[in-house]
Amino acid sequence: MKTVATNAASAPPSARKPAPNWLIWVALGTVYVVWGSTYLGIKVAIETLPSLVHGGVRFFVAGVVVLVIVALTKPAALRVTRAQLGTVAAAGVLLILGGNGLVSVGEEGVSSGLAALIIAGVPLWIVVLRTLFGDRPTAATLVGVAVGFIGVAVLLLPSGGATSDPGHAVLIVAASAAWATGSYLATRRPMPSNPFTATGLEMVIGGGVTFLAGLARGELSGFSADEVSGRSWLAFGYLIVFGSLIAFTAYVWLLENAPVSQVATYAYVNPAVAVLLGALILSEPVTLTVLIGGLVILASVAVVVTDEGRRRRRVSLANDEVQRSGQPGLAGADH
């Protein structure tokens, strides 16, 4: 699963010289492949590692590395207010424990590809949250959300081999909702201006809480490091270095150097990569139910993201026009 969402997406475009197109595609390809492969990495890691404990350690270690780098390169960016710290703490728990943690536990009973397809519905949950808090999405967006949840329901059907354990599949749905809630919260409450500081703190706090949740779940009862397989250790290291550090760095760089619409395409590619890798490496079944449900979800997310992108552009143009006329702006009209 991809790393922690921050408020970096709302940052203004960089005023620096435009990055070469080939470098943008290298970074985007990194996000495509690495974040798409983290579902497989989790599945392999939890073969012999405790689900929540390994996830907690993974994010805590990655968060410490991120914060150390910030401290060495831009120490002033580590200063945060109490309100900002409260936001990153809440978001970190929702994203790491609620999002990644439930995915790890859910993958104890479902395939990595199925987990990725269900998590692809995060944008749908965000629209639901926005609607609950007073926003008015367009009709096209609402139709896209409704169709997307039908796709999720198809994936939860016990027929066709889509779910080996419906209970664990429901945990993945809960993870999707928790990830969306954490992401939404991070756009509504005060956050550190530096995205690396925000994400580092989210990883450290969320990882620590996830580790404690693993202890409360009894995951270390009878656990022995000697019984962990080499491939689980390899997957664990891959998740820390590539999933939580390299891909995240590429993602933040992309947000500053590439159009957001281009960066957002990872949401469509990651599930396809996850399903492909799961089938090739772990021989996970790709049933007709999985194909239909997954395609419905991805198509609905594409409709929602595209429609919301048009809406943001219209609001931005309206703001520019109002500012030119000297009238108060419409900032915040698009939530």
pLDDT in tens, 30-65: 999 999 999 999 999 999 999 999 999 999 999 999
Name the DSSP letter for residue 241: I
- Length of the chain, in residues: 335
Q: What are the angstrom distances between the C-alpha of 288 and each of 95, 284, 293?
A: 31, 13, 8
Question: 270 near 116, Cβ under 8 Å?
Answer: yes
Distances (CA, A) of 1 to 41, 107, 126, 329: 9, 11, 17, 38
Residue 8 near residue 221 (C-beta atoms within 8 A):
no
What was the pLDDT predicted at 330? 33
List Cβ<8 Å contacts ≥24 apart for 163-168: 163/110, 163/114, 164/109, 164/110, 164/111, 165/108, 165/109, 165/110, 167/109, 168/105, 168/106, 168/107, 168/108, 168/109, 168/110
- Is there a contact between 286 and 161 (Cβ–Cβ < 8 Å)? no
Specify the amino acid at residue 219: E
At 102 the pLDDT is: 96
What is this structure's pTM? 0.83
Instruction: Convert the pLDDT of each residue in 237-274 to its tens digit.
Output: 999 999 989 998 888 888 778 877 678 788 888 999 99
Write the pLDDT tens digit of every residue in 206-216: 999 999 999 99
Provide the 10 A C-beta neighbour count for residue 224.
8
Q: Tokens 């492969």 correspond to what residue?
A: 37
Please report the DSSP string for 57-112 in residue order: HHHHHHHHHHHHHHHHH-GGGG---HHHHHHHHHHHIIIIIIIIIHHHHHTTTS-H
Cα–Cα distance for residue pair 305/91, rounded to 1 Å: 22
The tens digit of pLDDT for each residue in 186-200 reads: 888 999 989 899 999
Q: Which two tokens stand for residue 117?
A: 């397809």
CA separation, residue 50 to residues 53, 101, 227, 328 (Å): 5, 11, 11, 54
The answer to whether the CB of 71 falls within 8 A of the CB of 221 is no
Q: Pseudo-torsion of CA 36, 39, 42, 47, nearest 10°?
A: -130
**What are the structural domain ranges in the chain?**
7-219+227-325
CA distance 46 to 228: 9
Dist CA 174 CA 105 (whole Å): 11
Contacts for 199 with CB less than 8 Å, ≥ 6 apart: 3, 4, 6, 63, 66, 248, 252
Element (H, E) at 307: helix 288-325
pLDDT at 204 over 90: yes
Please give the pLDDT value at position 67.
96
